[in-house]
Amino acid sequence: MRAALVGIDFGQGDFAASVEELNLLARSAGAEPVTTITAKRSSPDAAYFVGSGKADEIGLAVLDHRIEIVIFNHALSPAQQRNLEKRLNIRVLDRTSLILDIFAQRAASHEGKLQVELAQLQHLATRLIRGWTHLERQKGGIGLRGPGETQLETDRRLIGERVKALRARLDKLRKQHETQRRSRGRSQTFSVSLVGYTNAGKSTLFNAVTKAGVYVADQLFATLDTTSRRVYMGQEVGNVVISDTVGFVRELPHQLVAAFRATLEETIHADLLLHVVDASSPVRMEQIEQVNLVLKEIGADHIPQILVWNKIDAAGLEPSVERDEYDKISRVFLSARTGQGTDLLRGAIVEWAKNAPGARLNQAYHVDAEADEESAEPAAEPDSSPTLTHVGSH
């Protein structure tokens, strides 16, 4: 599908990086960006977001490049989206709808599909009238006003009922997760969650540490399925549960954060977060900030972090470890793709697990695990809990 990308520079953040990310998002959704239209504004236009003149420029680009869809790098109001589609005579998508579409394509597990559907319905509820423009009062007439209002009310009621049912099913799944976490808590198994910006290499790192075989691709939101594995970390520590969790992106839609809150709780209850950073990215510091903002929103900002600077082979760095003023490991530099420095990360996890407040190390698997330790590569065995679906991306 031939797409025109639209980005407006409001003087905040790295605009070029934001537009490049929109290009990657569009390609991840299956679109083919053929032209990018940019402009500078101090604030959005109330009617068209970009102003009427720029809207006409977009219209000309649509005709010149045979565009099939226009994608904005911003969240549009329902009125702005309607006005643009009417003026351009073509489908217009905003950033929120684009990310929701990608998630809908990638959701594979039952829980993931429920979460995405809930987010989509919540987003759709604000835009219902777009589907019934033939029944609007302005275009109606005698005999059409009543049915138009009735249809909208019916849609709202049906969406409301579906949202209620989805929330009930997700709440049931959340309680199951709580039971699983309590089970791990009774054995006091140290829990580690991987978080980070999308495409930072979390799944590659997860595979390198656990030998899990999780799907990996060089694209945004390559997979939404999160997997937990129980990994033996040596005699002193025993087993550690490592979860490949959530991938964040700029302006992650609030509907998604809300819908995925149940599985985001896996992050909230971790003992340690491995915050994976693309060391080769020129906007890595901004990405770190974006991840920390979402962690704060879900209540996980109090959990200790190790910054894992991944892709050092692309950044020209060497494997190393940095410590903070309290002599705790705060950064690990490695390459998940080549394996350089992954032993340093395993050592960092062991050190944190040994020094965890009140930790009683789990010895249940020592007999079998000691045999694994003698082999060249320690094996990982699946966690007893089922695979967890997440907003993860890698």
User: Tens digits of per-residue pLDDT, 3-55?
Assistant: 999 999 998 877 888 898 899 889 988 899 999 999 999 999 999 999 999 99
pTM of the model: 0.71
The per-residue pLDDT for 53 is 93
The two three-digit tokens of residue 32, written as one number: 């083919």
For residues 305-310, give the mean pLDDT.
Answer: 96
The CATH number, out of the four listed (3.30.70.270, 3.40.50.11060, 2.120.10.30, 3.90.1150.10), of the domain defined by the range 2-93: 3.40.50.11060
pLDDT band of residue 387 (cuts 50, 70, 90) is very low
Name the more confident of 374 and 209.
209
The per-residue pLDDT for 259 is 61
Domain boundaries, the chain: 2-93, 107-167, 187-389
Which 8-state DSSP code applies to residue 378?
Answer: -
Name the more confident of 248 and 302.
302
Q: How far apart are CA 194 and CA 382, in angstroms?
A: 17
Which 8-state DSSP code applies to residue 142?
Answer: T
Phi–psi pair at 191, nearest 5 degrees: -115, 130
The per-residue pLDDT for 136 is 45
Q: How far apart are CA 18 and CA 16, in angstroms?
A: 5
The per-residue pLDDT for 351 is 93
187-389, CATH topology level: Rossmann fold (3.40.50)
Does residue 176 register a pLDDT over 70?
yes
Query: In the predicted model, what is the mean pLDDT of the chain?
Result: 79
The per-residue pLDDT for 249 is 77
